[in-house]
């Protein structure tokens, strides 16, 4: 692998990619179109030799074929320190194996450009990071069901409950006020979860902003497409389109960008 010219991905199995919604695939296509070498590893492929990170990786080419979007050029063990840029794109859940692969990759910090570096993923929980900002919806985190119900009492439209260690809209649920309180309450917390006030404006979609070193590269809006579905996640059938930011949204983006540098 040529230093600074090769790109690697730590990701889920390629055959599991949703070709219409997988961001990693979009990145791979752009990298391949520029003629750069492209390598992929699954977390299970990684191993340490002393303090050197290796992995049985695949050098691939993106084909654009409707039935198989990639071709394996070569498959063998590679030292990941030879990779110019490494994208950490493994999807949650953030379980023990997820933790282990971050610990292994931490031996590469300072040697390889990583997006995002393991230290950042270990330090900042994806859900809890929003608590650094004042402009988020009313938010509660814990596992005490009685306390949650007391906190949720003022919210006439109910609350949304989500796990702290997952993504893609999995296990994100909307509980209407009647489901939180009263004899038919269905709210019960088996472990620590996040709850937020349900905002009816979610039906208008949610905006995602791409940041690079504190600068906005563009934004898109996601909208749910299934009747009765409030989640706009692409993996759940949501659609997306390019959008512009309002002045208020630009202020929010600037605050997040300054924090993320």
CATH number of the CATH domain containing 246: 3.30.470.20
What tens digit of pLDDT does each residue of 90-142 get?
A: 999 999 999 999 999 999 999 999 998 999 999 999 899 999 999 999 999 99
Residues 186 and 116 placed together within one structural domain of the fold:
no
Residues 243 and 188 placed together within one structural domain of the fold:
no
The per-type count for the chain, helices as H runs and strands as E runs, is 6, 14
Residues 134 and 36 placed together within one structural domain of the fold:
no
Residues whose CB falls within 8 Å of the CB of residue 50, separated by 6 or more in sequence, listed in order = none
Residues 17 and 95 placed together within one structural domain of the fold:
yes
Q: Give the whole-angstrom CA distance, residue 130 versus residue 151.
A: 19
Q: Give the whole-angstrom CA distance, residue 209 versus residue 255.
A: 12
Domain boundary, last residue among 123, 148, 163: 123
Residues 208 and 194 placed together within one structural domain of the fold:
no
Residues 136 and 30 placed together within one structural domain of the fold:
no
| Full residue range of the structural domain in which residue 155 is found | 128-198
pLDDT at 180 over 60: yes
Closest CA to 127 of 161, 103, 87, 157: 161
Taking only Cα atoms into account, the Rg of the chain, rounded to an integer number of angstroms, comes to 21
Residues 158 and 171 placed together within one structural domain of the fold:
yes
Residue 2 belongs to some domain of the structure: no
Residues 24 and 93 placed together within one structural domain of the fold:
yes
- pLDDT band (50, 70, 90) for residue 11: very high
Residues 146 and 245 placed together within one structural domain of the fold:
no
| Residue-level pLDDT at 2 | 43
pTM exceeds 0.95: no
Residues 15 and 82 placed together within one structural domain of the fold:
yes
Residues 229 and 251 placed together within one structural domain of the fold:
yes
**Contact by Cβ (8 Å): 90, 43:** yes
Helix runs in the chain, H state only: 23-33, 96-105, 118-123, 145-152, 177-180, 247-260
| Residue-level pLDDT at 248 | 95
Paired tokens of 195: 């709850």
Residue 173 belongs to domain with CATH number: 3.30.1490
pLDDT at 181 over 80: no
Asked whether the CA dihedral 118, 119, 125, 130 is positive or negative, the reply is: negative
């Amino acid at each position: 692998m040529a230093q600074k010219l090769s790109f690697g991905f730590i990701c889920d199995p390629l055959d599991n990619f949703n070709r219409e919604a997988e961001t990693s695939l979009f990145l791979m296509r752009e990298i391949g179109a520029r003629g750069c070498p492209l390598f992929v590893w699954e977390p299970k492929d990684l191993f340490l030799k002393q303090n050197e990170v290796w992995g049985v990786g695949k050098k691939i080419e993106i084909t654009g074929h409707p039935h198989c979007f990639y071709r394996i050029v070569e498959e063998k063990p590679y030292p990941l320190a030879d990779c110019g840029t490494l994208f950490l794109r493994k999807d949650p859940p953030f379980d023990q194996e997820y933790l282990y692969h971050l610990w292994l990759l931490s031996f590469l910090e300072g040697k390889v450009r990583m997006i995002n570096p393991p230290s950042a993923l270990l330090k900042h929980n994806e859900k809890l990071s929003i608590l650094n900002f004042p402009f988020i919806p009313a938010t509660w985190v814990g596992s005490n069901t009685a306390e949650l119900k007391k906190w949720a009492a003022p919210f006439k439209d109910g609350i949304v409950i989500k796990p702290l260690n997952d993504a893609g809209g999995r296990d994100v649920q909307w509980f209407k006020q009647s489901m939180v309180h009263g004899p038919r309450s269905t709210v019960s917390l088996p472990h620590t979860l996040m709850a937020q006030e349900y905002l009816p404006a979610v039906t208008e979609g949610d905006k995602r902003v791409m940041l690079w070193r504190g600068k906005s590269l563009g934004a898109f809006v996601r909208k749910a497409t299934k009747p009765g579905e409030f989640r706009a996640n692409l993996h759940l059938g949501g659609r997306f389109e390019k959008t512009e930011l309002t002045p208020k949204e630009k202020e929010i983006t600037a605050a997040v960008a300054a924090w993320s540098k």
